[in-house]
Structure 1
Amino acid sequence: MKRNRVLLAYDIGQPRLQAQVRKKISHEASSQQLSAYECYLNKQEQKALLLQLAPLITEESLLACQIDSRRKTYYLGQAKPALDEHCLVID
């Protein structure tokens, strides 16, 4: 099944809840930076992960957006182009 590049980012103020969410997401992430994670998930995996996170995210917020790999990527500041098509480098 085809995997899509998905960006997951959260805004969670509670350290304990932040750790729970980070633990669930980091199992799927190919790269991460603070509270932003890049994951390659098929539709079933994405749905399963979001279902796991839903009970945790009640008063906080989590964004999951699919990134279209056919689109041009822009780099700002010290950002570097990806080493290959399956990797995103965040400095």
Structure 2
Amino acid sequence: MKCRRNALMNWNERTGYVIMKKEKRITIYKKIWCKIRYWQNLKDVSDTELAAYLRVCERTLRDYDKNARNITLEKIDNFLTVNSMELDELLAM
């Protein structure tokens, strides 16, 4: 049986099989969104300004707060370009 990178193995004595349980992890889009919000707080940038940097409306920011899955590479690139940043600089914050 192959072990998955993000899985925990538990032995089920009743069945005699190994049960794979996935670890909870933070997805990459959630990490990036959290870093953008962290940068916003550090720089004291309003939601209106941040929305302009990403080229979205303010409501979209609140949607990203609930579920960052819909943030696109284009939006992240807009943010990085406007702020003269590289992705590794953002993630290193």
User: TM-score, normalised on structure 2?
Assistant: 0.29
Structure with max Cα Rg:
2
Structure with more of its chain in helix, by fraction: 2
Structure with more of its chain in strand, by fraction: 1
User: TM-score, normalised on structure 1?
Assistant: 0.29
